[in-house]
Structure 1
Amino acid sequence: MARRKFRPNVITWHEAQSEIVIPSNDPVFNDNLILAEGDSWFTLAGIPTSNLLFSMRFTASTLIVNCAKPGDTIINMSKMLKNSSFKSALSEEGLPWHLLLISGGGNDLIDEAENIILSKDERADSDINNMESYCDLEIFEKVIENIKDSFRKIVNLRDSPNSPAIGKPILVHTYDYFVPRNAPARFFPFTISGPWLYPVFSKAEIPEGIWIELAQFLVDKLAEGILELAEGSNKLHNFHVVDTRGTLVKAKLGSVGDSHDWLNEIHPDSAGYSKISKKIDAKILELKILK
C-alpha cells in the first residue's frame, strides 16, 4: 500500500506567532516543522501566486513557516536585519525546526545580468561558439562568490548559540533553464514585473540564435557554484543541494506567455513547480530527516 502524501500547511512567521491559530497551522499538531526562506520561487502573496512550496508532498503532517517576501534575493537573506521574520525564527523565539529550505541565487543572477552580459562594443572578440566571450567573467565570478558567501552566513546563523536549529539540515535547489523572452509576470492584463533577461539580451544585441545557449551557461555557472558548497573537503555542514536543472521543458523562444512548464520568463507554472518539487521531495526522503 502506498504511503499517504500530505500537503504542507504553509503559513507566514507572523501567522506562526499569532495567539489564535487553527489546528492545522499549530506546530503541536504537525509532525514536521520546516523553516523556508528564499526568493520569488517561494513567495507568498506575490505575483505569480503559485510557488514551489505548495507543490511539495510529505509522508506526515508538515508545517512550513515561510519567511520569503516578493523579490527577495539570497543576498538580502544573508543580511538578516532586512528580514526580521527569518532572524526571529532562528532565535530563541523560533520553533524546533527539523529542516531549513532555502531558495536563493536566481534573483541575484537576474539582477546582475546587465553587468555580466557584455555590450556589443565590449565584445569585439566574441566567439559565437564560446559563451564566456559574451560575459564579463570577473563580475560573474564575483556574483557567484557573493551568493556562496551568503549561504555560508545562513549556515552560521543556523548554528548561532541561541538558534533552535543548530546543526539541522539545510536544503537548497539549483534552478532550471530560463529562456529569454518577452514574458513578464502578469496580473490579468497588467504587467507586474519583468521581463528580466529579454531586455538585457536585446540591449546587448546578443545574436538571437544563441539566447538559449547563453542563458543556459548562466544557469549552469550558478548551479556549479551552489553545488560546490555541498561537495569536497570544504563543504558546509549538513548542507544539501538538489540539482533541478533539466527538469522542465524549456519555454519556446519568442513566446510571450505561459509556455510548456513556464508561466513567464523566470517562473515555472504550477505543473513546472510540481516537477521541481518531486525532486526535492525525493531528496528529503533520501536524507531521512523528516517523519
Structure 2
Amino acid sequence: MSRRGRHRPSIVPWHEYLRQVFDHEGFPTFPDLNLLAEGDSWFTISGIPSYNLLFELRFRKQTRIVNCGSPGDTIVSMASIARSQQLREALSPGIQRWDAILLSGGGNDLINAAGKIVLPKSDRPTHPGNPADYCDAAELGALLDDVQDGYRRIAAMRDVPGGPSRGVPILAHTYDYATPRDAPAIFIFGSLGPWLHRAFNDRDIPPADRVKLADYLTDRLAERILELTVGSKKIPEFHVLDTRGTLTPAMLGHRGDSHDWQNEIHPNGGGYEKLAKRIEPVLEGLLGL
C-alpha cells in the first residue's frame, strides 16, 4: 500500500476565498491543487467537539479546499445544495477551473423523511418479514428520485456553457450504517436530533428490527447514488465511493460517542479519518497523481 500524503488541506470558506482572490485581502496562497466542496454536515460541523470529513483528508501536494458549505448546514437537503448560490457562483465564468469537486448529499434527505417513509403500525403487515415491509415504497422511491435529481442539477451547473469547470471530476460518497439511538448532535446553542430514533419511536418499530431497518434505508440510498455512475443514468465524470462498511457501528442504546460515531448520524474524528483514508486514493486517481 502506498504511503499516505502528509499535507493537511487549507480549508477556506467561499466568502473568504472571494476576499482573498478578488478583494486581495489577507495573504494570498498558491496551492498545487484547488478543490471545491459542497454538502451537508459531513463537510461542515457535526457537533461539539467539531469534526468533519474534510478536516481529515491528507494530500501529497499542497491543497486548498474551498468549502461552499456552512456550519448551519447540519440538516441541509440535496435540493438546498443544488440551489446553492455559492456553488453556482463557484462554477460560473470568471472563477478559476477547479481540479475536482467534492460532494456530500442525500443522507439528510433520508433522515428528515424517515417519519414519512416508515409506515404507521396500522398500515403495515402484522408480522413484517423484512425491512421493506415497514416502508412506504412510493414515498421512499420519490425521495430517492429527488436525491438523484439534485446530483444531476449540480452536474449540469458544472457543465454550464462557458463554465470554467466543465467536465472536471465530481467525487461523491455513500454514507455508512448509522445506529438508530438517542444520541443528538450537541451544539453551543442546544441540540439537534436524534432523527432515526425519534422516527422509529413514533412509528412503533420493534427494537429488534430497528438496526435492520436503518441499514435497509442506508442501502437503498447508496444504491440510488451509485446508479448515477453506470448505464443509462450515468452522469459524465461523476464518481461515487461506496463508503458503507468503513465504520464500526455505534452500540444500540448508547447515548454518546460510540465506536466511530460522535452522535446518531455523524462520525467522530476517528471515523472521519477512516473515511478520509478510503477517499484519498480514489481522489488521487481522478487527479492523475
> TM over 0.5, yes or no?
yes
When residues 152 and 4 of structure 1 are mapped into structure 2, their CA distance, relative to the original with a 3 A threshold, is closer
What is the CA deviation profile of residues 50-96 of structure 1, one whole-angstrom value per residue up to 9, with x for unaligned ones?
110000111100000001132322111112xxx22111101124222
After superposition, residues 162-201 of structure 1 pair within 5 angstroms as 162-187=162-187, 191-201=190-200
Distance 1:207 1:263 in 2: 24
Contact 2:4/2:58, CA 8 A, preserved across alignment:
no
Partner-residue secondary structure (3-state), 2:229:
coil
Distance 1:3 1:278 in 2: 8
Distance 2:243 2:3 in 1: 25
Range with greater deviation from structure 2 (265-274 or 70-79)? 70-79
Q: Determine whether 1:76 maps to 2:80.
A: yes
When residues 122 and 31 of structure 1 are mapped into structure 2, their CA distance, relative to the original with a 3 A threshold, is same
Distance 1:141 1:193 in 2: 26
Match of 1:137 in 2: 137
Structure 1 unaligned blocks of 5 or more: none
Distance 1:108 1:202 in 2: 19
- Displacement after TM superposition at 1:126 (Å): 4.5
Partner-residue secondary structure (3-state), 1:186:
strand
- Displacement after TM superposition at 1:231 (Å): 1.2
Distance 1:217 1:53 in 2: 27
Distance 1:84 1:94 in 2: 14
Contact 2:5/2:58, CA 8 A, preserved across alignment:
no
Match of 1:33 in 2: 34
What is the CA deviation profile of residues 184-215 of structure 1, one whole-angstrom value per residue up to 9, with x for unaligned ones?
01137x74211111110011010000111100
Question: How many correspondences in the alignment?
Answer: 280
Contact 1:30/1:62, CA 8 A, preserved across alignment:
yes
- Displacement after TM superposition at 1:6 (Å): 0.9
Provide the identity percentage.
44
Contact 1:184/1:265, CA 8 A, preserved across alignment:
yes
**Which AA in structure 2 matches 1:134?**
Y
- Displacement after TM superposition at 1:251 (Å): 0.3
Range with greater deviation from structure 2 (70-79 or 50-59)? 70-79
Match of 1:154 in 2: 154
- Displacement after TM superposition at 1:15 (Å): 0.4
TM-score by length of structure 2 reads 0.92
Distance 2:146 2:280 in 1: 28
Partner-residue secondary structure (3-state), 1:22:
coil
RMSD over aligned Cα atoms = 1.7
Distance 1:213 1:10 in 2: 37
- Displacement after TM superposition at 1:125 (Å): 4.1
After superposition, residues 224-235 of structure 1 pair within 5 angstroms as 224-235=223-234
Contact 1:175/1:245, CA 8 A, preserved across alignment:
yes
- Displacement after TM superposition at 1:245 (Å): 0.2
Match of 2:248 in 1: 249
Partner-residue secondary structure (3-state), 2:263:
coil
Distance 1:43 1:63 in 2: 15
**Which AA in structure 1 matches 2:138?**
E
Match of 1:237 in 2: 236
Structure 2 unaligned blocks of 5 or more: none
When residues 265 and 156 of structure 1 are mapped into structure 2, their CA distance, relative to the original with a 3 A threshold, is same
Range with greater deviation from structure 2 (157-166 or 168-177)? 157-166
**Which AA in structure 2 matches 1:268?**
P
**Which AA in structure 2 matches 1:274?**
E
When residues 124 and 234 of structure 1 are mapped into structure 2, their CA distance, relative to the original with a 3 A threshold, is closer
Q: Determine whether 1:286 maps to 2:289.
A: no
